[in-house]
Amino acid sequence: MSLRLRLNLLVAGLNLGFLVALTWLMVDSHRNSIQEEIEAAHRVTVQMLGTAAQTSRVFGSAPAVMVDYLQSLGRVRANEIRLYSDDGVLRYESPPSGYKAGRRAPDWFESLMRQRLEATVIGLPGARIEIVPDASRAVLDAWDNVTAVFLLGLGFVAVLHVALLLFLRRLLRPTEADALRLVTTTRQLAENREVTRLIQAGVEEERKRLSRELHDELGQSVTAIRLIAASISRSGESAGAMQGSAKINEIAAGLYDSVHRIVRELRPAVLEQPDLAAALADLGREWRARHPQIDFVLKLDGDLGDLGEAATLAAFRCVQEALTNVLKHAGAGRVEVCVRRHDDSLEAVIDDDGQGPAIGGAVSGHGLVGMRERVEALGGSLEATARAGGGFRVSMVLPLPGDSS
Ligand SMILES: Nc1ncnc2c1ncn2[C@@H]1O[C@H](COP(=O)(O)OP(=O)(O)OP(=O)(O)O)[C@@H](O)[C@H]1O
Ligand SMILES: [Mg+2]
């Protein structure tokens, strides 16, 4: 989650929390004041009508007199008054309130503000008066107040939110100097990569030239020596000369093989046709033949045939150097090379079960540094670490151009 989104959520959460707390405080204070207000109004009404009922009892007035009195009284604040004769007939009902007539607070708000107020019944000769506290107008007032404050608060926190975010954005925005530095560093990095890539290309070119020279000059000279040695042995000279020529032939054959091996190392098949799978299979065959005491495992996954020359060569050279390091430093009994092609990257891991890196030993070689530079020049990364279970691991990831199909 980006920093800006996190700050947005934090500010929004704080603002909403503040709004909810404010609303709840208002609801609570309204609930208490409504309770007090309605109780007081009910008490006064009951006292007033109680006195009237007392008088009516003393003078033995008929219910009709009380109805007249109630009609003249009209609506008493926050109370509904009804008069029933003893036979249960409703003789009088107070008129509805004209205040905010026709409106009510929503049911859920009314139940939130619900008051615990009991109706009072006053007995009369031949009738009874029911006085029912009615908090609906007070609750409606509270609703109007709370919604007004809520909407005002909402507007306020929205403005606050926007202002805070604009301020944060300005605070977090890199200055022009930062941007310039960033651009310069990025450019330098790109230039460094390009320089490394050119150096690597130059090195490969030089290796090709060397391998050509070795093959053409030394290879042909050795072949000529062998031919001369063969003609001496065919000429039927003395036994000593025959023996000498056979020895020359044997040494020259050994030299020829060595020259060919060096030529192959300098200019592996991968340079001729960038097929990493084939090149690694070749390398594996040669490794097994030359180092049978080390168990060599090669695991290839995915199509490694069309990675492009740069990625193929970089991966091949890394595996080659890592294997040389295994021979030089690891003392391993097993080495595993795992190369996997993902959708947009190539991953190579070389594991051995040797002694691992020397603790505290100064790193003086150039192999790992060169591998890393080579990989980073192509936008990839390389790590060389001790393995959890002992041994050494070199892992490399190279980005590949996306699949355009
Ligand atoms: N497979 C491995 N097992 C144990 N240690 C290793 C292994 N590979 C590399 N190292 C350690 O990392 C160091 C750096 O390796 P690097 O290839 O950079 O240099 P080098 O092999 O010593 O010299 P150079 O490659 O220049 O001939 C080595 O000196 C060695 O200590
Ligand atoms: Mg090395």
Structure tokens at 249: 């032939």
Residues 278 and 262 in one domain: no
Tell me the C-alpha distance between 325 and 392, whole Å.
10
> Hey, whose CA ends up nearest to atom 24 of ligand 1?
365
What percentage of the chain exceeds 90 in pLDDT? 26
Query: pLDDT: is 234 or 275 the higher one?
Result: 275
| Structural domain ending residue among the three candidates 117, 136, 171 | 171
How far from 376 is each of 145, 195, 263, 398, CA to CA, in Å? 66, 11, 27, 8
- Among left, alpha and beta (phi > 0; psi -120 to 50; other), residue 222 is alpha
Look at residue 405 and tell me whether its pLDDT is greater than 50: no
Q: pLDDT grade, residue 388 (50/70/90)?
A: confident
The residue-averaged pLDDT of 32-50 equals 89
| Structural domain ending residue among the three candidates 267, 296, 311 | 267
Tell me the C-alpha distance between 136 and 113, whole Å.
10
Identify the pLDDT of residue 363.
60
- CA of 370, nearest ligand number: 1
- CA of 390, nearest ligand number: 1
What percentage of the chain exceeds 70 in pLDDT? 95
Q: Render pLDDT for 203-230 as a digit per residue (tens, 0 to 9).
A: 887 887 887 777 777 777 787 788 788 8
Structure tokens at 62: 């008929």
Q: pLDDT grade, residue 82 (50/70/90)?
A: very high
If you measure from the C-alpha of residue 396 to the centroid of ligand 1, how many angstroms do you get, rounded to a whole number? 16
- CA of 394, nearest ligand number: 1
Is 137 a pocket residue for ligand 1 (Cβ < 6 Å)?
Answer: no
Q: pLDDT grade, residue 113 (50/70/90)?
A: confident
The residue-averaged pLDDT of 377-393 equals 92
Residues 22 and 113 in one domain: yes
**Ligand 1 atom closest to 366 (CA):** 26
Contacts of 95 (CB under 8 A, 6+ apart): 74, 75
Residues 261 and 281 in one domain: no
Decide if 327 is inside a domain: yes
Residues 33 and 70 in one domain: yes
Residues 151 and 48 in one domain: yes
Q: pLDDT grade, residue 235 (50/70/90)?
A: confident
Look at residue 362 and tell me whether its pLDDT is greater than 60: no
Q: Render pLDDT for 311-331 as a digit per residue (tens, 0 to 9).
A: 998 899 899 989 989 988 999
Decide if 93 is inside a domain: yes
The residue-averaged pLDDT of 344-370 equals 84
If you measure from the C-alpha of residue 190 to the centroid of ligand 2, how many angstroms do you get, rounded to a whole number? 26
Is 386 a pocket residue for ligand 1 (Cβ < 6 Å)?
Answer: no
CA angle 175-181-182, nearest 5°?
A: 90
Are 77 and 48 in contact, with CB atoms under 8 Å apart?
A: no
Q: pLDDT grade, residue 402 (50/70/90)?
A: low
Kindly give the interhelix angle for 309-325 and 367-377, rounded to the nearest 10 degrees: 160
The residue-averaged pLDDT of 122-150 equals 90
Query: pLDDT: is 113 or 62 the higher one?
Result: 113
Residues 216 and 161 in one domain: no
- CATH classification of the domain holding 301: 3.30.565.10
Tokens 């049911």 belong to 107
Structure tokens at 156: 């306020």
Decide if 150 is inside a domain: yes
If you measure from the C-alpha of residue 393 to the centroid of ligand 2, how many angstroms do you get, rounded to a whole number? 13
Residues 255 and 348 in one domain: no
| Structural domain ending residue among the three candidates 148, 171, 194 | 171
Tokens 């007392």 belong to 54
The residue-averaged pLDDT of 87-94 equals 91
Q: Report pTM.
A: 0.51
Tell me the C-alpha distance between 262 and 270, whole Å.
15
Structural domain for 308, as ranges:
274-405
Decide if 319 is inside a domain: yes
Identify the pLDDT of residue 349.
97
If you measure from the C-alpha of residue 320 to the centroid of ligand 1, how many angstroms do you get, rounded to a whole number? 13
Average pLDDT score, the chain:
85
Q: For every residue of the chain, which 3-state class applies, written as one string?
A: CCHHHHHHHHHHHHHHHHHHHHHHHHHHHHHHHHHHHHHHHHHHHHHHHHHHHHHHHHHCCCHHHHHHHHHHHCCCCCEEEEEEECCCCEEEECCCCCCCCCCCCCHHHHHHCCCCCCCEEEEECCEEEEEEECCHHHHHHHHHHHHHHHHHHHHHHHHHHHHHHHHHHHHHCCCHHHHHHHHHHHHHHHHHHHHHHHHHHHHHHHHHHHHHHHHHHHHHHHHHHHHHHHHHHHCCCCHHHHHHHHHHHHHHHHHHHHHHHHHHHHCCHHHHCCCHHHHHHHHHHHHHHHCCCCEEEEEEECCCCCCCHHHHHHHHHHHHHHHHHHHHHHCCCEEEEEEEECCCEEEEEEEECCCCCCCCCCCCCCHHHHHHHHHHHCCCEEEEEECCCCCEEEEEEEECCCCCC
Is 391 a pocket residue for ligand 1 (Cβ < 6 Å)?
Answer: no
Structure tokens at 154: 């909402």
**Ligand 1 atom closest to 325 (CA):** 8
Is 366 a pocket residue for ligand 1 (Cβ < 6 Å)?
Answer: yes
Is 326 a pocket residue for ligand 1 (Cβ < 6 Å)?
Answer: yes
Decide if 9 is inside a domain: yes
Is 358 a pocket residue for ligand 1 (Cβ < 6 Å)?
Answer: yes
Tell me the C-alpha distance between 357 and 355, whole Å.
7
Residues 148 and 21 in one domain: yes
Residues 309 and 374 in one domain: yes
Look at residue 342 and tell me whether its pLDDT is greater than 70: yes
If you measure from the C-alpha of residue 217 to the centroid of ligand 2, how many angstroms do you get, rounded to a whole number? 29
Decide if 176 is inside a domain: no
Residues 156 and 42 in one domain: yes
If you measure from the C-alpha of residue 325 to the centroid of ligand 1, how many angstroms do you get, rounded to a whole number? 5
Residues 285 and 229 in one domain: no
Residues 167 and 192 in one domain: no
Tell me the C-alpha distance between 331 and 357, whole Å.
11
Decide if 177 is inside a domain: no
Number of domains present in the structure of the chain: 3
Looking at residue 270, its amino acid is V
Is 365 a pocket residue for ligand 1 (Cβ < 6 Å)?
Answer: yes
Of 114, 139, 147, give the one whose Cα is nearest residue 22: 147
Decide if 179 is inside a domain: no
Burial class, 125, CB count within 10 angstroms (exposed 0-12 / middle 13-18 / buried 19+): middle
Q: Render pLDDT for 173-205 as a digit per residue (tens, 0 to 9).
A: 777 778 888 889 989 888 888 888 888 888 887
Q: Render pLDDT for 157-174 as a digit per residue (tens, 0 to 9).
A: 888 888 887 887 777 777
Is 164 a pocket residue for ligand 1 (Cβ < 6 Å)?
Answer: no
- CA of 366, nearest ligand number: 1
Tell me the C-alpha distance between 309 and 270, whole Å.
8
Tell me the C-alpha distance between 15 and 161, whole Å.
8
- CA of 368, nearest ligand number: 1
The residue-averaged pLDDT of 370-389 equals 90
If you measure from the C-alpha of residue 275 to the centroid of ligand 2, how many angstroms do you get, rounded to a whole number? 24
